[in-house]
């Protein structure tokens, strides 16, 4: 893994983020209007982005045994610093036993000077995160069905699926029965404050009602978007996440 690990949206920050994002929408609209009237500066460095992680996506309204979506990069990512990714997953900071951190996610990532590729990342309690590329290059407009799913008959055990095939070992994530899945795009800019460019489309959002499957359409969820990025809902089961540019 190059740089810091991908981090799911932190649960403790969500309420604050929801309030801030209402204000951010107004700021973003003003900034976009000013940007349209100003000469281009190259990349997305002029947009109002945080000096760390930024997210645009949603959290499912209830706990589930899995989450899936078809994710399509609509354009070649423009990564100035750090990375970008569009992913589905479960877990986060403090979600494990005794406040430990654990998560599992699968998505499409990109780094400076490199094309988009499918990856998954797992973090188990008391261990560092493990990032693995599945070995599939992804062109703009190319969809892939990505999912994480609890294994039937095994307690708190999960696997990663890509286009209907299991691509990971079974990972034990203790106390993972009560997690709300997420579908989101993210940017990490290595503390520089620049805005990396991305545009991901999420369609066919679904959750697993029980371990092993029983997939159902994901009925909405809590939306969020950080400054410099947009979450654009098309239907209860589809949305775009993209940079302002």
Architecture of domain 11-243: Sandwich (2.60)
Distance linking the first and last C-alpha atoms of the chain:
27
Scanning the chain, the segments in alpha helix (DSSP H) are 11-37
Question: So what's the pLDDT on residue 216?
Answer: 95
Residue 207: closest CA among 191, 219, 224, 223: 219
Question: So what's the pLDDT on residue 19?
Answer: 34
- What b/e readout covers 82-118, taking b as 16+ CB neighbours within 10 angstroms? bbbbbbbbbbbbebbeeebbbbbbbbbbbbeeeebbb
Residue 112: closest CA among 89, 80, 69: 80
Question: So what's the pLDDT on residue 36?
Answer: 38
pTM listed for this prediction: 0.81
Residue 110 vs residues 12, 79, 86: alpha-carbon distances, Å? 27, 7, 9
Per the structure block, which two tokens stand in for 55? 């997210």
3-state helix, strand, coil in the chain (%, to 5): 10, 45, 40
SS3 at position 219: coil
Could you report the average pLDDT of every consecutive run of 10 residues in the chain (245 residues)? 37 36 36 36 54 94 95 96 97 89 96 94 93 93 97 93 97 90 96 94 96 89 94 94 91
Domain boundaries along the sequence of the chain: 11-243
Name the DSSP class of 9.
P
């Amino acid at each position: 893994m190059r740089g810091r690990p991908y981090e799911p949206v932190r649960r403790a920050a969500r309420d604050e983020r929801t309030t801030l994002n209402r204000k951010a929408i107004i700021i973003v609209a003003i900034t976009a209007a000013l940007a349209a009237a100003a000469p281009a500066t190259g990349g997305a460095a002029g947009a109002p982005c945080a000096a760390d992680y930024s997210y645009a996506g949603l959290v499912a309204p209830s706990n589930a045994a899995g989450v899936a979506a078809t994710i399509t990069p609509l354009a070649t990512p423009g990564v100035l610093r750090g990375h970008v990714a569009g992913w589905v997953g479960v877990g986060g900071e403090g979600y494990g036993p005794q406040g430990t951190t654990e998560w599992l996610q699968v998505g499409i990532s990109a780094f400076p000077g490199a094309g988009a590729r499918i990856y998954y990342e797992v973090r188990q309690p008391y261990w560092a995160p493990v990032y693995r590329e599945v070995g599939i290059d992804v062109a703009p407009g190319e969809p892939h069905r990505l999912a994480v799913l609890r294994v039937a008959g095994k307690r708190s055990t999960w696997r990663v699926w890509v286009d209907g095939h299991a691509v990971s070992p079974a990972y034990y994530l203790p106390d993972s029965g009560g997690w709300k899945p997420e579908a989101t795009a993210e940017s990490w800019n290595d503390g520089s404050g620049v805005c990396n460019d991305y545009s991901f489309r999420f369609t066919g959002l679904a959750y697993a009602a029980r371990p092993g499957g029983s997939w159902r359409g994901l009925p909405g969820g809590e939306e969020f978007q950080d400054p410099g990025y947009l979450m654009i809902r098309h239907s209860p089961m589809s949305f775009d996440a993209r940079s302002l540019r």
